């Protein structure tokens, strides 16, 4: 525990302090994990984030000492890491996710410890027998106590049924998303399906996406997609178009080889590929461009975005396509309240910008984009 003294009135447990009997007690719904960025924004841990003062989304994760029961090859929480690490030492994405008492956290939010920074809260589910029920409990408490901050659910389709989505909606969920992650069925199967002894099924994920489309409606559902797991640019942009055509949004993540995961040796996403995919996704989601009008080479790389050069240049210069993509906040000009600072890259080599890129950044983005 970092401290329960006045300076840190919330009991907070970073990974290295989640050991022994205490670790066994740290389970949802009494406890949740939160991103390091959210903990800093709330003043729960000391620290500063590089070039950005805060995050605008309170990202939470349900937590259990026995961990996630799925076995995704790229994930820091996966079951296969049991042999090498205890659950408490496994990371969700890249950085530590400390654990806090949920009621104490709610109290902090009621006291406005975030100083009005949070525009959204998000609950990430995992594959665990208690995850559905605990998500309902967390959600219900949140909407009763902090109704002014909207909630996103990053769902686990494997354990969800149609009525669960109805219930989430009734309890006040604003946006419902599916962590599809893989851009194609083949990649899904290879990274998180039967072949790696994981319970997830491509068909079920699409079934839940269709339920989300029906229950939550246009612009209120979406998918998380990881770029760089073996798909082509054409594959991933085709998927973005499909989700967009359904009325949803695409939230893009750069593949990062998580240490200790089965894909730790897989190369980090190619920078040129990533920048073109970021741009293509933005054009599809926000500028009415269709993937069918883009041009691709024989390797599936984008060669033309179907816009006049000057228009494309203006869009690139705006920096918007290269910012973190995620659920919106309450600012009309905000592309994503969920800015997940350094969730998919190091501050020294930023892939998803949690702030507006400056001139130097844009120069680098352009030179990366021109590389094949």
**Positions 10 through 29 that interact with ligand SF4 (CB under 6 A):** none
Give the DSSP letter string of 304-335: E-SS-HHHHHHHHHH-GGGBPP----S-TT-S
Asked whether position 338 contacts ligand SF4 by CB under 6 A, the answer is: yes
Report, in Å, the least distance between residue 35 CB and ligand SF4: 9
Q: Going residue by residue from 233 to 272, which x/- string records binding to ligand SF4, judged by CB under 6 A? A: ------------------x---------------------
Given 56, 69, 94, 120, the residue binding ligand SF4 (CB under 6 A): 120
Integer Rg of the chain from CA: 20
Report, in Å, the least distance between residue 9 CB and ligand SF4: 26
**Alpha helices of the chain — where are they, by DSSP H?**
20-25, 36-41, 102-110, 131-145, 162-170, 185-192, 202-216, 233-246, 271-286, 309-318, 359-370
Given 105, 122, 269, 289, the residue binding ligand SF4 (CB under 6 A): 122
Chain length of the chain: 372
Q: What is the DSSP letter of 299?
A: T
Q: Going residue by residue from 161 to 200, which x/- string records binding to ligand SF4, judged by CB under 6 A? A: ----------------x-----------------------
**Positions 137 through 156 that interact with ligand SF4 (CB under 6 A):** 152, 154
Report, in Å, the least distance between residue 68 CB and ligand SF4: 16
Of the pair 167, 190, the CB lying nearest ligand SF4 is at 167
Q: Are residues 181 and 192 in contact, defined by beta-carbon separation less than 8 angstroms? A: yes
What does each C-alpha distance from 207 to 6, 72, 177, 289, 358 come to in angstroms? Answer: 48, 20, 13, 26, 41
Q: Whose CA is closest to 285, among 235, 208, 218?
A: 218
Task: Give contact residues for ligand SF4 (rule: CB under 6 A).
Answer: 57, 59, 120, 122, 152, 154, 177, 224, 251, 326-327, 338
């Amino acid at each position: 525990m970092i401290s329960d003294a006045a300076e840190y009135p919330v009991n907070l447990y970073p990974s290295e302090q989640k050991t022994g009997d205490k670790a066994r007690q740290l389970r949802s719904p009494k406890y949740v994990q939160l991103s390091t960025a959210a903990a800093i924004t709330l003043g729960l841990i000391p620290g500063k984030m590089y070039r950005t003062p805060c995050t605008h989304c309170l990202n939470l994760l349900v937590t259990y000492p026995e961990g996630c029961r799925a076995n995704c090859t790229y994930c820091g929480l996966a079951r296969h890491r049991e042999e090498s690490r205890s659950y408490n030492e496994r990371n969700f994405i890249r950085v530590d996710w400390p654990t806090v008492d949920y009621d104490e956290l709610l109290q902090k939010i009621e006291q406005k410890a975030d100083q009005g920074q949070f525009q959204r809260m998000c609950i990430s589910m995992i594959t665990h027998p208690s995850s559905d029920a605990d998500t309902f409990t967390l959600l219900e408490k949140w909407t009763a106590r902090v109704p002014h901050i909207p909630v996103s659910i990053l769902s686990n389709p494997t354990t969800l049924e149609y009525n669960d989505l109805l219930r989430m909606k009734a309890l006040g969920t604003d946006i419902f998303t599916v962590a599809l992650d893989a851009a194609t069925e083949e990649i899904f199967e290879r990274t998180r399906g039967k072949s790696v002894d994981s319970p997830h099924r491509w068909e079920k994920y699409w079934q839940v996406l269709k339920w989300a489309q029906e229950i939550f409606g246009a612009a209120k559902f979406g998918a998380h997609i990881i770029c760089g797991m073996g798909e082509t640019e054409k594959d991933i942009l085709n998927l973005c178009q499909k989700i967009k055509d359904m009325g949803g949004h695409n939230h893009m993540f750069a593949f990062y080889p998580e240490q200790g995961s089965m894909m730790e040796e897989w190369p980090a996403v190619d920078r040129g590929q990533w920048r073109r995919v970021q741009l293509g996704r933005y054009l599809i989601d926000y500028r009415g461009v269709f993937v069918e009008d883009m041009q691709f080479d024989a390797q599936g790389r984008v060669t033309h975005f179907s816009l006049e050069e000057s228009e494309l240049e203006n869009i690139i210069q705006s920096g918007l396509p290269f910012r973190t993509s995620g659920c919106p906040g309450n600012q009309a000009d905000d592309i994503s309240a969920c800015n997940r600072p350094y969730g998919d890259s190091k501050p020294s080599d930023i892939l998803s910008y949690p702030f507006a890129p400056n001139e130097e950044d844009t120069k680098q983005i352009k030179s990366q984009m021109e590389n094949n």
